[in-house]
């Protein structure tokens, strides 16, 4: 892509292709490239070939799950009803998707307009995370076609899962509304943009409520199994707080991680505002994440003290618990403290990745690894189960990339008037801006990464 | 502009709150079970491991042919659990007191406040007034939370079925027998009278009576009288309960007690959060113009006003 831009291709960032012609929908879809150019750049990208291989193996397995049943793909059993799909997919994905409500709250409710450049990435990350968590759920459910039942057919209002179902579905619609602003801008539907802007505050506040409740509710689901979840990962009074609070650093760090990957692979899509503010915003997010981590660590310790579970720490499970806390909380907290103070961005980005992994580890531990700790046999996931997880995550990455390439997430959509102004004043500016090599992310490896990106062409 | 937006925000927040309103927990008191609930007293000291209850259950519930015939005692080599093909299983337990090894029949215990029931988000489970915990497969989505929530690891799932997988568990022969006041098939067939069917309250008295009359034969405890809020199936044992595979660490609180903390918090969040965050928003943007608007649109909005 970068090579193409260097050779004069224009990226779509406003409704007008030139002063007298608008982009057609197909042109927008192909990123403003011609069809041969578009296919050419897609084929040149080795990552796309990896994706193709994963799909070739994974998609038949996903279809097989619906033809041959769950036992064909999972080792989920009567003792381990929740396998990798839920532990890794649903419980891991949802806390990393809290970014939508976090950045929405920071920008719209707390008035932190300095975070605005990354707000849309946060919202999109939230929407996609939830959407794919639901995809994982659909794969795991015995009868996925009955998913709407708790809404329309039969109500079990005393169940925590009832809350989760209602809140996740309501929140998904809220998030679709929030992200639709970018979509309306892109397809050119200003009435929609204005309509959503008007209800932004309402959407954001309902987002906070729904997120608090269902992030917590996912934790509360485990309070149904007091004898099965290992005591170190279980707390009747604090379980929902653990899940909710850990989702805060989780969501923020996920945004840092995604923006880092994007800056390595698709900086051509960034506009000047995003390039200029990325480092500053990353530091702000890291500060937020550190506070979240500190809170999380405190209540983790409190819950152990509350039920007096210190003795478990000396067991094998206890050491595993300490490993999880070190990787996911203490090491990143220390690194954050150092890196924020010295403005060392690579370290911030690395610790953000640690936090993301730490959240995954925590959810896996709670739902699968230490689950049924009193039983002798442990569940080892089936290879097809792993293949399906990898495939669904790949679909997630493909959809994520597809949207980031097109919608105004990393760049601001220019309205017709703005475009005309810029075009009249300095016809070359907009094009020049985007062709500037993205060397803003001052790290030593950047030049090399940039060269790589060039050869990868997206 | 600002006030209108605020009011709108409140309205939407309110709408969201009302969406969540039905999810408020039913107040869960300490439910002691229906007064006319039936139960079964399992006297494990009488059980000889003949497995005829397993056979009777298989026939009554029209379950598939077993892998091993019901007169084969080799199954006692390992500990079995209930599956989609067997709603009840008998296990043999080794004790080191030199006496004959005890057997224990295992099936759904039909709790007074069942974990499966309270965890089900489509209300597929019902605790009938006769004491049975029955299951409605027509609404089951297959989330398998009930299997997670069951402290006794009873519900099984037909994982092998692609198009109609369901929860499989003992239903106390509700539809064919209990409803008409008849004892379940396993009780009727038991040659040793190890299983006694009756009103749960009577069975508890009977159990204590047996313990009082022959204290050498039993430990002084009826498992299920109080465990997990009480169960319809009760066990008498010669050896401590944990030696015959009964989990003695469960406590006397029903599953739902652990979840109450969270459920009680839900209405608080629904009612307090909108006001709290709208308030914070007003404070945070007090000294700024149109704090809730995006930078690039504030001029337009100003123009309109």
CA distance A444 to A434: 22
Query: Does residue B19 have a pLDDT over 50?
Result: no
Contacts of B151 in chain A (CB under 8 A): 225-227
Q: Please indicate, yes or no, if residue B6 is contained in any of the structural domains.
A: no
Query: Does residue A194 have a pLDDT over 50?
Result: yes
Mean pLDDT of B40-61: 93
Q: Tell me which H or E stretch contains B301.
A: helix B298-304
What is the reported pLDDT for A34?
79
CA terminus-to-terminus distance, chain B = 8
Report which DSSP code applies to B288.
Answer: S
Q: Tell me which H or E stretch contains B41.
A: strand B38-43
Number of Cβ within a 10 Å radius of residue A163: 29
Given pLDDT bands bounded at 50, 70 and 90, which one contains residue B293?
very low
What is the reported pLDDT for A3?
65
Query: Does residue A196 have a pLDDT over 50?
Result: yes
Query: Does residue B20 have a pLDDT over 60?
Result: no
Mean pLDDT of A136-156: 86
Across the interface, do A142 and B274 touch by the CB < 8 Å criterion?
A: no
Predicted complex ipTM: 0.80
What is the reported pLDDT for A6?
65
What is the reported pLDDT for A439?
35
Q: Please indicate, yes or no, if residue B291 is contained in any of the structural domains.
A: no
Query: Does residue A93 have a pLDDT over 70?
Result: yes
What is the reported pLDDT for A414?
77
Mean pLDDT of A180-190: 86
Q: Which domain holds residue B47?
A: 38-257
Please, what's the largest Cα pairwise distance for chain A? 75
Q: Which of A202, A245, A274, A306 is best to mutate for the B interface (most B CBs within 10 A)?
A: A202
Task: Please write the tens of the pLDDT for every residue from A23-36.
Answer: 777 777 777 777 88
What is the reported pLDDT for A214?
87
What is the reported pLDDT for B6?
55
Residue A78 near residue B157, CB atoms below 8 Å = yes
Across the interface, do B262 and A220 touch by the CB < 8 Å criterion?
A: yes
Contacts of A82 in chain B (CB under 8 A): 144, 148
Comparing A135-139, B273-277, B290-294, the range with the smallest average pLDDT is B290-294
A96 — phi, psi (to 5°)? -75, -10
Q: Please indicate, yes or no, if residue B278 is contained in any of the structural domains.
A: no
For residue A78, give the nearest of B83, B256, B296 by CB distance: B83
B232 — phi, psi (to 5°)? -75, -25
Contacts of B160 in chain A (CB under 8 A): 69, 71
CA distance A180 to B107: 52
What is the reported pLDDT for B230?
92
Given pLDDT bands bounded at 50, 70 and 90, which one contains residue A256?
very high
| β partners of residue B196 | B41
Task: Please write the tens of the pLDDT for every residue from A439-449.
Answer: 333 333 444 44
What is the reported pLDDT for A288?
93
What is the reported pLDDT for A71?
84
What is the reported pLDDT for A432?
41
Given pLDDT bands bounded at 50, 70 and 90, which one contains residue B292?
very low
Task: Please write the tens of the pLDDT for every residue from B77-90.
Answer: 888 999 999 999 99
What is the reported pLDDT for B302?
39
CATH number (domain holding residue B105): 3.30.70.20
Q: Please indicate, yes or no, if residue B79 is contained in any of the structural domains.
A: yes
Query: Does residue A287 have a pLDDT over 90?
Result: yes
Given pLDDT bands bounded at 50, 70 and 90, which one contains residue A38?
confident
Identify which has the larger pLDDT, A15 or B263: B263
Residue A263 near residue A270, CB atoms below 8 Å = yes
B156 — phi, psi (to 5°)? -115, 160
Mean pLDDT of A49-75: 90
Q: Please indicate, yes or no, if residue B292 is contained in any of the structural domains.
A: no
Mean pLDDT of B288-293: 50
Domain count, chain B: 1
What is the reported pLDDT for B291?
44
What is the reported pLDDT for A442?
38
Given pLDDT bands bounded at 50, 70 and 90, which one contains residue B54?
very high
What is the reported pLDDT for A422?
58
Task: Please write the tens of the pLDDT for every residue from B113-145.
Answer: 999 999 999 999 999 999 999 999 999 999 999
Q: What percent of chain B has pLDDT over 90?
A: 59
Residue B83 contacts A, CB cutoff 8 Å: yes
Q: What percent of chain A has pLDDT over 90?
A: 41
Q: Please indicate, yes or no, if residue B244 is contained in any of the structural domains.
A: yes
A454 — phi, psi (to 5°)? -65, -45
Contacts of A223 in chain B (CB under 8 A): 258-259, 261-262
Query: Does residue A39 have a pLDDT over 50?
Result: yes
What is the reported pLDDT for A444?
39
Looking at every residue in chain B, the average pLDDT score rounds to: 84
Identify which has the larger pLDDT, A103 or A433: A103
Across the interface, do B20 and A203 touch by the CB < 8 Å criterion?
A: no
Write out the two tokens for A319. Answer: 């050491």
Q: Please indicate, yes or no, if residue B4 is contained in any of the structural domains.
A: no
Given pLDDT bands bounded at 50, 70 and 90, which one contains residue A325?
very high
What is the reported pLDDT for A446?
42
Across the interface, do B294 and A116 touch by the CB < 8 Å criterion?
A: yes
What is the reported pLDDT for A453?
44
Mean pLDDT of B172-187: 93
Contacts of B168 in chain A (CB under 8 A): none
């Amino acid at each position: 892509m970068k090579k193409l831009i260097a050779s004069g291709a224009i990226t779509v960032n406003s409704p007008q292709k030139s002063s007298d012609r608008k982009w057609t929908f197909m042109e927008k879809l192909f990123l403003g490239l011609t069809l041969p150019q578009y296919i050419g750049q897609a084929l040149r990208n080795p990552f796309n070939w990896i994706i193709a291989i994963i799909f070739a193996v994974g998609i038949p397995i996903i279809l097989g799950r619906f033809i041959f049943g769950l036992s064909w793909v999972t080792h989920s059993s009567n003792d381990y009803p929740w396998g990798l799909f839920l532990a890794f997919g649903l419980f891991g994905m949802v806390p990393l998707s809290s970014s939508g409500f976090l950045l929405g709250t920071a920008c719209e409710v707390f008035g932190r307009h300095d975070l605005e450049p990354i707000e849309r990435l946060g919202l999109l990350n939230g929407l996609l995370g939830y959407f794919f968590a639901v995809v994982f759920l659909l794969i795991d459910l015995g009868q996925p076609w009955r998913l709407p039942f708790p809404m329309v057919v039969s109500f079990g209002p005393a169940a925590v899962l009832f809350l989760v179902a209602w809140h996740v579905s309501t929140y998904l619609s809220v998030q679709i509304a929030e992200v639709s602003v970018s979509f309306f801008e892109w397809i050119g539907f200003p009435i929609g943009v204005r309509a959503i802007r008007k209800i932004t505050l309402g959407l954001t506040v309902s987002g906070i409520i729904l997120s608090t409740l269902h992030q917590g509710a996912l934790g509360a689901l485990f309070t149904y199994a007091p004898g099965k979840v290992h005591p170190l990962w279980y707390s009747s009074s604090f379980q929902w707080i653990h899940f909710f609070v850990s989702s805060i650093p989780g969501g923020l760090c996920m945004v840092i991680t995604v923006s880092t990957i994007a800056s390595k692979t698709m900086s051509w899509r960034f506009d000047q505002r995003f390039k200029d503010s990325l480092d500053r915003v990353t530091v702000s997010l890291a500060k937020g994440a550190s506070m979240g981590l500190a809170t999380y660590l405190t209540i983790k310790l409190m819950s152990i003290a509350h039920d007096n579970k210190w003795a478990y720490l000396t067991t094998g499970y206890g050491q595993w618990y300490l490993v999880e806390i070190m990787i996911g909380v203490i090491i990143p907290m220390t690194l954050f403290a150092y890196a924020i103070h010295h403005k060392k961005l690579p370290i911030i980005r690395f610790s953000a990745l640690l936090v993301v992994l730490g959240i995954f580890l925590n959810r896996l531990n709670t739902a699968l690894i230490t689950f049924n700790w009193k039983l002798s046999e442990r569940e080892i996931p089936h290879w097809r189960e792993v293949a399906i997880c990898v495939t669904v995550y790949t679909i997630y990455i493909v959809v994520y990339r597809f949207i980031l390439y097109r919608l105004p997430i990393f760049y601001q959509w220019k309205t017709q008037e703005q475009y005309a102004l810029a075009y009249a004043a300095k016809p070359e500016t907009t094009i020049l801006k985007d062709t500037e090599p993205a060397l803003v992310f001052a790290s030593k490896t950047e030049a090399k990464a940039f060269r790589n990106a060039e050869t990868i062409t997206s | 502009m600002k006030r209108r937006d605020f009011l709108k925000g409140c309205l939407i927040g309110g709408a969201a709150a009302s969406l969540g309103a039905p999810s408020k927990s039913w107040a869960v008191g300490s439910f002691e079970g229906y007064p006319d609930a039936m139960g079964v007293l399992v006297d494990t000291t009488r059980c000889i491991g003949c497995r005829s209850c397993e056979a009777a259950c298989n026939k009554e519930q029209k379950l598939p042919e077993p892998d091993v015939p019901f007169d084969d005692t080799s199954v006692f080599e390992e500990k079995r659990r209930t599956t989609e093909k067997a709603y009840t299983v008998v296990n043999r337990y080794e004790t080191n007191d030199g006496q004959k090894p005890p057997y224990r029949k295992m099936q759904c215990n039909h709790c007074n406040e069942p974990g499966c029931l309270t965890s089900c988000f489509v209300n597929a489970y019902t605790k009938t007034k006769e004491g049975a915990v029955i299951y409605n497969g027509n609404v089951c989505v297959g989330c398998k939370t009930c299997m997670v929530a069951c402290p006794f690891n009873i519900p099984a799932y037909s994982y092998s079925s692609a198009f109609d997988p369901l929860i499989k568990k003992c239903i106390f022969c509700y539809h064919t027998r209990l409803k008409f006041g008849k004892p379940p098939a396993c009780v009727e067939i038991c040659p040793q009278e190890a299983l006694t069917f009756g009103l749960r309250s009577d069975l508890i008295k009977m159990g204590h009576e047996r313990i009082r009359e022959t204290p050498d034969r039993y430990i002084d405890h009826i498992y299920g009288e109080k465990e997990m809020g009480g169960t319809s199936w009760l066990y008498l044992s010669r050896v401590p309960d944990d030696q015959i595979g009964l989990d003695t660490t469960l406590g006397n609180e029903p599953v739902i007690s652990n979840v109450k903390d969270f459920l009680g918090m839900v209405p608080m969040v629904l009612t307090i959060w909108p006001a709290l965050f709208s308030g914070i928003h007003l404070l945070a943007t007090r000294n700024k113009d149109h704090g809730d608007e995006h930078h690039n649109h504030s001029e337009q909005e100003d123009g309109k006003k």
